[in-house]
Homo-oligomer: A and B are copies of this chain.
Amino acid sequence: MTRTSLSGVACSIARATDLFGDAWTALIMRDVLVGIRRFDELAEDIGLSRKTLAARLALLVEEGVLTRERYQVTPPREEYVATEKGREFYPVLLALMAWGDKWYAGPAGPPAQIRHDACGHLATPVVACDACRDPLTVADTTQLPGPGGRVGPGTQLLGPLIAARGDGVPAPDTAQNPVRSAPS
């Protein structure tokens, strides 16, 4: 597949998807963060081939997202645990899950819920502005070039266009039913 390594591209989304753009990788992180850390468990739970799992885990370790640790010396047994970098990926998974819950949950509701232990509520994760804590949407944000901005292919910074077209005037009503119960 050539894996055109997007690492050279300036956009952080590209950087991140270069690692997590693989469907498996995100699922591995979910499992590891949720307590499934052993090779065989991961293979079975996620349902990917042992070969590919080994490759992904090696990549994640190389990237410093996971570490491989011996949790038992004899017989030697390894497990994969998330580094801080890996743990901080959890919120991204929560945001993804919230989106999936909203648009793909069946009539019964979402398959899992998140309890925010700090406040005790069942949480619906929202992506918010760190300054005012209000939710961020495509309509009320603008992308600006950043200090590290090598603007090149992969990073057109067309902020203003968003406000113009992104929301307010959705082309001839394209609204769809949020609940889509029959996946192909």
Contact = CB atoms under 8 A, between A and B. Distances in A.
Contacts of A107: 148
A45 interface: yes
Contacts of A156: 31, 34-36, 45
A162 B111 contact: no
In the complex, which of the residues A34, A81, A135, A159 has the most CB atoms of chain B within 10 Å of its own CB atom?
A34
B129 A123 contact: yes
A133 B128 contact: yes
B129 A85 contact: no
B33 A166 contact: yes
A130 B126 contact: yes
A184 B7 contact: yes
Given A114-B144, A123-B131, 5 more contacts: A27-B154, A87-B138, A109-B147, A112-B149, A115-B159
